Amino acid sequence: MPALRLDAAVPPPELDGLRRDVRAFLAEEIAAGRIVPHADNWLAGWDPAFSRRLGERGWIGMTFPRAYGGSEAGSLARFAVTEELLAAGAPVAAHWIADRQSGPSLLKFGTEEQRRAYLPGIARGETSFAIGMSEPDSGSDLASVRTRAERADGGWVVNGAKVWTSGAHLADAMIALVRTGPAGQSRHEGLTQLIVDLRSPGLQIRPIRLLTGEHHFNEVVLTDVFVPDGRVLGTVGDGWRQVTSELSFERSGPERILSTFPLLAAVAGRLAERGADAADRARIGMLVARLWALRQMSLAVAARLAAGDAPAIEAAVVKDLGTRFEGALTETVRLLVRVEPDLASSDPLAQLLAQSVLHGPGFTLRGGTNEILRGVVAKAILAGGGEAR
């Protein structure tokens, strides 16, 4: 049975200064009222102006080469910055997907022209991306996607529908997984990734509301949408391999353990004010201990990604444990304080609690459900590979 490879990774001490800079910047932003901390704000906090301010400081595209507008600071430096942003509940959604996974995919599979077209804008916090994987009848079983691209003069004509597409109504482009050829025996053949301009004629983007009423994700219907050959990402027919390599970036990051951290910080503050008894302290201590272990695991995966590995199994384990922790944190806080969750309350703790409760159902679904992640791990143990998303 293969062992998990989660070797201890220690962030270099020289990153402490970077952390302090990010904290000071965030404290200023909050004090000036330019941003308001929210739970799960990496998902829902779309604030292009804030993303641009981060871009100006070199805190987006930290893993991109300088030639494409990045800072080459590396993935552990990026980890430090993203942790600080998440811990503060900063609104980072406008650049999150592009910085985390579309940019690295473009670097890995994109043409020189595509890299030059998109990466500098991503690093400036100006160009945003959406993920076009899920479809109305294809979520976990991603290989069954039915959106089709047919060959046309100079490109492809796309028909079909994507669903749960985060930020599609605001983003510039979507990397869509589409069928361009027969599925073959494995069902993994004949899939291709296309970079779809989200302002293309033939696209309809319809909102799907979250429980909070926020417009975060969408149904994207594509009717005869033309995608030029220059916007094929990587190799025609190789989409499955490309998509699965992207998923380690999607699954292992600190956002899979820190979505509800602002709530933990707020409740710790409240308990400190009102005085905590031994039982309260023990509950908070247990959450912090669990969080610390998860953080070390997430760091270990980041270090392997930085070394060019594809730790898909470890990323799946971190996401399964991490997202369950995010939900358990909400539940613990709910039982710890007598605060009515209320999105419109003037009490930040009541707001953070409401945001955490209402966003909670998505934690274990987005990016691949926990059942599927466990299937990925089990299949890898049995046969050295996984099929489902």
Ligand X SMILES: Cc1cc2nc3c(=O)[nH]c(=O)nc-3n(C[C@H](O)[C@H](O)[C@H](O)COP(=O)(O)OP(=O)(O)OC[C@H]3O[C@@H](n4cnc5c(N)ncnc54)[C@H](O)[C@@H]3O)c2cc1C
Residue number with CB closer to ligand X (241 or 281)? 241
In the set 147, 368, 376, 377, which binds ligand X (CB under 6 A)?
368
By CB under 6 A, residue 372 contacts ligand X:
yes
Residue number with CB closer to ligand X (231 or 389)? 389
Residue number with CB closer to ligand X (43 or 318)? 43
Of 62, 93, 78, nearest in space to 11 by CA = 78
How many CB atoms are located within 10 Å of the residue 25 CB? 18
Residue number with CB closer to ligand X (299 or 372)? 372
Cα pseudo-dihedral 120, 10, 294, 292, rounded to 10:
-120
Residue number with CB closer to ligand X (89 or 120)? 89
How many CB atoms are located within 10 Å of the residue 21 CB? 14
Cα 26 from Cα 35, distance rounded (Å) = 8
The 10 Å CB-count burial string (b at 16+, else e) for 342-366 is: eeeeeebbbbbbbbbbbbbebbbeb
In the set 314, 375, 376, 386, which binds ligand X (CB under 6 A)?
375
Query: For residues 109-148, which are near ligand X according to CB under 6 A?
Result: 130-134, 139-140
- Looking at residue 235, the DSSP 8-state letter turns out to be -
Given a contact cutoff of 8 angstroms between Cβ atoms, the answer to whether 73 and 58 are in contact is yes
- We find the least distance from the C-beta atom of residue 289 to ligand X, in angstroms, to be 28
By CB under 6 A, residue 355 contacts ligand X:
no
- We find the least distance from the C-beta atom of residue 263 to ligand X, in angstroms, to be 17
154: CB partners within 8 A, 6+ apart: 228, 229
Query: For residues 205-234, which are near ligand X according to CB under 6 A?
Result: 217
Helices 312-336 and 370-383: crossing angle in degrees, nearest 10, is 150
Question: Which DSSP string do the residues of 53-67 spell out, in sequence order?
Answer: HHHHTT-SSTTS-GG
Residue of minimal Cβ distance to ligand X: 139
- We find the least distance from the C-beta atom of residue 41 to ligand X, in angstroms, to be 13
User: What mask, x for binding ligand X by CB under 6 A, covers residues 42 to 81?
Assistant: -x--------------------------------------
Residues touching ligand X, count (CB under 6 A): 23
Cα 176 from Cα 205, distance rounded (Å) = 14
Residue number with CB closer to ligand X (165 or 355)? 165
Region from 116-124, 158-166, 262-270, 341-349 binding ligand X, contact rule CB under 6 A:
158-166
- Residue ranges that bind ligand X, judged by CB under 6 A: 43, 130-134, 139-140, 164-166, 217, 362, 365-369, 371-372, 375, 388-389
